[in-house]
Amino acid sequence: MTKAPVTVTVTGAAGQIGYALLFRIASGQLIGPDTPIKLRLLEIPQGLKAAEGTAMELDDCAFPLLQSIDITDDARTAFDGTNVGLLVGARPRGQGMERGDLLEANGGIFKPQGEAINAGAADDVRVLVVGNPANTNALIAQAHAPDVPAERFTAMTRLDHNRAQTQVAKKLGVTVNDVKKLTIWGNHSATQYPDLFHAEVGGKIAAEQVEQSWLADEFIPTVAKRGAAIIEARGASSAASAANAAIDHVHTWVNGTPEGDWTSAGIPSDGSYGVPEGLISSFPVTAKDGKFEIVQGLEIDEFSRERIDASVAELVEERDTVRKLGLV
């Protein structure tokens, strides 16, 4: 075991996603099987006792890679020297609530966390925001961390990506490994656009292998509204699949995308594909040398353009709302 330990801070550690996430981080699935992990768990005071219980269970797993667990309700302490920040803690959407309803409540959480990251995180810090509305929460945190390169703040759309991959695999009777170059564009919300016009199955464009009616009337709404469907069925928002997607996102960011494929992540726009610069929007991305890069040069037809624009318009609206609240 020669690699330097990586400090991982998880906010909302005592929540549902936290419980599904921490054991996988500690077992080496976030970074890799030979990187020791130091865990920092951030909770609100009411969550500390439950976090302590989870820490007892982590101890009881005797994970060879897990070097330490610190629990705190102080953001500065939690992010001091952190290499990976998983910003999960937020108020989950209940039945009938739209993500926009959460902006004000959650905005207050991500400002102090951004400030704490700015103040003390490691130089190579990478931040993934999971707590909803994830894209705009990431924007808030980033706005309060002016000394951290903007591209280190990302928002999770990997869950949507994974959901889309499975829907296509099931439809075409193939495995998820056969579905490549899928893209989630825009916001992690019901306006997101899962794009099959560049996705490939068996080396051929996926959109050409399915009926247009399935694509427009079944596939897109199923993926875009999957979060609400899970809340409806479980009475609670997705947790294990969300934790899995967070693991995938960071693992890909650190270890890279395979040759001939890409993934989806919410990253700060550089103006590509007409997405206003600075918005944290989902794009087709590759990862190499620890950096995400937007896949360039894709042709966007009218069908896709309309849907990308609608989701980006929602992101602009969310940004304008948090601007008015003085959060960015």
Contacts with ligand NAD by CB under 6 A lie at 11-12, 14-18, 42-44, 47, 88-90, 92-93, 109, 130-132, 134, 156, 159, 188, 237-239, 242
230 is a site residue for ligand LMR (CB under 6 A): yes
Q: Supply the DSSP symbol for 95.
A: T
Residue 14 interacting partner from ligand LMR, ligand NAD, none (CB closer than 5 to 8 Å by kind): ligand NAD
- Minimum CB separation of residue 102 from ligand LMR in Å reads 8
Residues of 163-180 as b/e, b for ≥16 C-beta within 10 angstroms? bbbebbbebeeeeeebbb
Residue numbers in the known binding site for substrate are: 93, 99, 132, 163
CA distances from 309 to 174, 205, 297 (A): 31, 22, 17
12 is a site residue for ligand LMR (CB under 6 A): no
For the chain, the maximum distance between any two Cα atoms, rounded to a whole number of angstroms, is 55
Query: By the 8 A CB rule, do 125 and 85 touch?
Result: yes
Residue 31 interacting partner from ligand NAD, ligand LMR, none (CB closer than 5 to 8 Å by kind): none
- Minimum CB separation of residue 8 from ligand NAD in Å reads 15
Q: Looking at the chain, how many residues does it have?
A: 328
Residue 230 interacting partner from ligand NAD, ligand LMR, none (CB closer than 5 to 8 Å by kind): ligand LMR
- Minimum CB separation of residue 307 from ligand LMR in Å reads 18
Q: At what angle do helices 134-143 and 103-120 cross, to 10 degrees?
A: 40
254 is a site residue for ligand LMR (CB under 6 A): no
- Which residue stretch of 46-54, 201-209, 223-231, 257-265 sits at the interface with ligand LMR (rule: CB under 6 A)? 223-231
Cβ-Cβ contacts under 8 Å for 320 (sequence gap 6 or more): none
Nearest residue to 10 via CA among 87, 92, 111, 74? 87
Residues from 113 through 132 that contact ligand LMR (CB under 6 A): 132
Distance CA 133, CA 296 (A): 26
- Does the annotation mark 188 as catalytic? yes
Smaller CB separation from ligand LMR, 26 or 245: 245
Query: By the 8 A CB rule, do 145 and 153 touch?
Result: yes
Residues identified as active-site: 188
Binding site for ligand LMR (CB under 6 A): 93, 132, 159, 227-228, 230, 237-238
